[in-house]
Structure 1
Amino acid sequence: MMLSFFDQFMSPTYLGIPLIALALVLPWTLYPTPTPRWLNSRLLTLQGWFINRFTQQIFMPINPGGHKWAVMLASLMVFLTSLNMLGLLPYTFTPTTQLSLNMGLAVPLWLATVIIGMRNQPTAALGHLLPEGTPVLLIPVLIIIETISLFIRPLALGVRLTANLTAGHLLIQLIATAAFVLLPLMPTVAILTATVLFLLTLLEVAVAMIQAYVFVLLLSLYLQEKRL
C-alpha cells in the first residue's frame, strides 16, 4: 500500500488525543531554567546572550513604546525555532506545517498591532492607507489597494511559514526515498543522493531558524509602522 507524501503533515492522534498538544508543550521543557546563583552554566549564559542579542536587533528601530512587546516576541522566536528544529528529527511531527496553527499565531498578533496603532496613533495608522502626494483621481483606488494589503498581512505570515517548511520536508522525503530505492540498484548514485540529502538537511536547519526570525521580524516591522 502506497502512502501519500503528505501523510507526514497530518496531525497524529493516540487514543483519540491529538498529539499536536504534546508537540506544542515539549519545547518549553527542553530549555534550562535560570538559577539564583551568581554564576550560571555555559548553556544558560549562551541562552541569555542569544535572547538579548535577538531582542536588541529586533527592537533597535522601534520606539520605546513598542519595547513592551520584547518578552512576547522573544518568546515567540524561541518557540517557533524550537518547533521547526524538532520537526527535522526522525519520527516527529512539525506543528508549524499546519496552516491553522500559523494563522492562529499570526492573526491575533497582527490584529493587536492594528488595534493598538488605531488607539494610540489613529492619524498615523490611517495615514498609511493613503501615501502623501497621491493624485485625487487615484485616492479611492489606492485606499482600496492599501486596505486589501493590510488584511493580507496575516495570511502572508501564516502561508510563508507553512509553505517553506512543507516544501523543505517534502524535498527531504523525496530525496530520501530516491536514495533508498537506488541503493540496491546503483550504489554510487545512491551515495551521491545521500550526500545531497545531507546538504539539504543542513539547509533546512537554516530555513527553520530563518523562517522563525522572519515571522517575528515582520511583526516588529508592523509595530514600527504603527509608531507605538
Structure 2
Amino acid sequence: MRRLLFALPLLWLALMPSLVRAQKFGYIDSEFIMSKMPAYAQAQQELNTMSQNWQKDLEAQKKDLDRLYRTYQAEEVLLTEPMKKKRQDEILKKEQDIKAYQNKVFGYEGQLFKKRQELTKPVQDQVFEAVEKVAKKKQLAIIFDKSGDLTMLYTNPAHDYTEFVLEELGLASEERNQPAAKGPVRTVETPATPGGAADDAEFEDQRPAAKPAQPAKGKQPARSGARNN
C-alpha cells in the first residue's frame, strides 16, 4: 500500500508534460484589436471632446477665483472687518466649488469615468465575443491578453491569435494590419485640474486671512505575419 501511495505522485509527474501539451493555448493583444475598431476610435474622440469641455469649465472657474482674490487685495484697506469676512467666505466657497466640480467630473467614478465605461463596454463586449468564437473554433483551452496585467516575457508568434479575432470582427486586412512599432493606444488622460495635493496646499496658502496672498497662476505591438493552423 505504501509503495502504491509513493508511486502515484511519481505517475502524475510523469504524465504532467503530456497533459500540458494536450491543452492548446494562445494569446491576443486587445489594445491592438480595439485600435482597429472604428467604434473604439469614435468613443475615444467623444471622450476627448467631453474632457476638453469640462476642462474649459474648470479653467473659467479658476479665473473667477483669481478675480475674487485680486479684487479683495485691491480693496482690502477700504473694507471693514465684517466686509473682509464676507469676501473671505466668498473666496473660500469658490475654492470649495472648484474642488467639488473637479471631483464630480474627473474624480474616481466621476462623469468621465462613467462615460468611458458606457462608451467602451460595447466595444469590449464585441472583442470578448470574437475571442470566444476563435477559442471554440481553434479548440483553445486558454487565451491570454498580451496587453493586460499578465507579464509575458516571451511570446511565440505561432500562438498569436490576434489576427483571427480581427477576422471575426470583420477587420482583417493585410494592408491595415501591417506590423508596426510597439506603442500605446491613445486613451483619454484626465487633465490636470484643481483638487490634487499640490492644489490643496495652494488653496490653503492662498486663503485670505489678515492679508491673503495672490494665488499662483496656474501599445501597438508588432504583428507577426505567421498564421495559426
Bin of the TM-score, shorter chain as denominator length = 0.3 to 0.5
Q: Which has the larger radius of gyration?
A: 2
- Higher-RCO chain (CA-CA 8 Å, sequence separation at least 6): 2
Using structure 1 for the length normalisation, give the TM-score: 0.33
- The structure where helix makes up a greater share of residues is 1
Using structure 2 for the length normalisation, give the TM-score: 0.33
